[in-house]
Amino acid sequence: AGPAGVAVYRVLAVKRTAGRTFVAVDGGMSDNPRPALYGVRYAPRLIGRPSSTPPRLVTVVGRHCEAGDVLADEVALPGDIHPGDLLALPAAGAYHLSMASGYNLVGRPPVVAVSNGTARTLVRRESQDDMNRRDIGL
């Protein structure tokens, strides 16, 4: 199941410092805790647009502001990566959804099947309303 799944993230921000470039995406350890838990290494790829810009080493981080929220460390991505771009993480199918959580009240992602150019939602994205329904209050 692992090779069959691809996690797709949207780039939220790119931060360039003197020594490193960080690419922050709209997911992270809440939907994919495997890198933080046991060091799984992914090879993200830019999708949805071509780029002829030479690659540079970047660290892809999640949106949770935690030291362990790193999806891919020191991976080559096009130097012109910017907010709005899409990144695909191949081989995310085995445990991606089953290990997802509502950490920091970030809803779990949808699951979409794609076959012969046709996409079909299998599991819808978890909404804030879904999470609020569980809260019964005082």
pLDDT value of position 117: 92
Left if phi > 0, otherwise alpha if psi is -120 to 50, otherwise beta: which for 65? left
CATH architecture, domain defined by 2-105: Beta Barrel (2.40)
Q: What is the pTM of this model?
A: 0.89
pLDDT tens-digit readout, 80-119: 999 999 999 988 877 777 888 888 888 888 989 999 999 9
Q: Which residues are catalytically annotated?
A: 65
For the chain, the domains span 2-105
Is-contact 47 59, C-beta < 8 A? no
pLDDT tens-digit readout, 21-69: 999 999 999 998 888 888 888 899 999 999 999 999 999 999 888 888 9
